[in-house]
Amino acid sequence: MDFNTIWQQFTEGMRATTGLEYIAVFTGIASVYFSRLENIWVYPTGLVNTIIYIWLSLKGHLFGEASVNLYYTIMSIYGWILWAGKDAQQQHIVQVKFSTGKQWLQQVLFFTAFYAGIFFILTYLKRSFAPGAIPWADAFASATAYTGMWLMAKKKVESWYWWIATNFASIPLYFVKGYVFTSVYYLVLLVLAFSGLAEWMKRAGNNRKAMLNFPEI
């Protein structure tokens, strides 16, 4: 595919972008911006984004992505509850932290299990009634997103690594499906994810120092 073909597909896709997709994109960017700041508004804005993308993903035969956004919706409610929790001193119970070696292993196993399951399901759907499905790419984007959302609810720095992988995979995936504006959206999210990673690494380091200076009794 040459540059002219890509540019033509891009301009046609932008013209075909619906108002619903615009709302989903802007609320998604707002959600990632709030997550970088560790602001609880990440969840209400994210819920608007995920509910719209369930519909858009089903329309585009991106069943793995539709399942991810359903999962996002459920995990947003769970994360909202976790992030809102405070102790007797009105300090947030869940703090930004680095993962341990054991938790890293759990994350890899979590990703692998979801990738395998989604890949086999999508392969079956592709043969049966969804020839437009792209099992390996959709499964990768979906499984990394499942992992990233789970870790974000627990405020783990490593959630951003999984989000970066999700964004890299989703940029071409949505482009070939005709959701060009969403493809651009994931490019913006990719930039924000690197910024979020740097910010959370700094916050986790500060929290670690605070714990060393004031260990729990």
Convert the pLDDT of each residue in 110-145 to its tens digit.
999 999 998 998 888 777 766 667 788 888 988 999
Convert the pLDDT of each residue in 44-79 to its tens digit.
999 999 999 898 888 877 776 787 789 889 999 999
CB 24 within 8 A of CB 141: no
| Domains identified in the chain, total number | 1
Domain that holds residue 80: 3-213
What is the value of pTM for the model shown?
0.80
Residue 94, phi-psi category: left (phi > 0), alpha (psi -120 to 50), beta (remainder): beta
Q: What is the pLDDT of residue 90?
A: 56
Listed in sequence order, the residues at least 6 apart from 3 whose beta carbon sits closer than 8 Å to its beta carbon are none
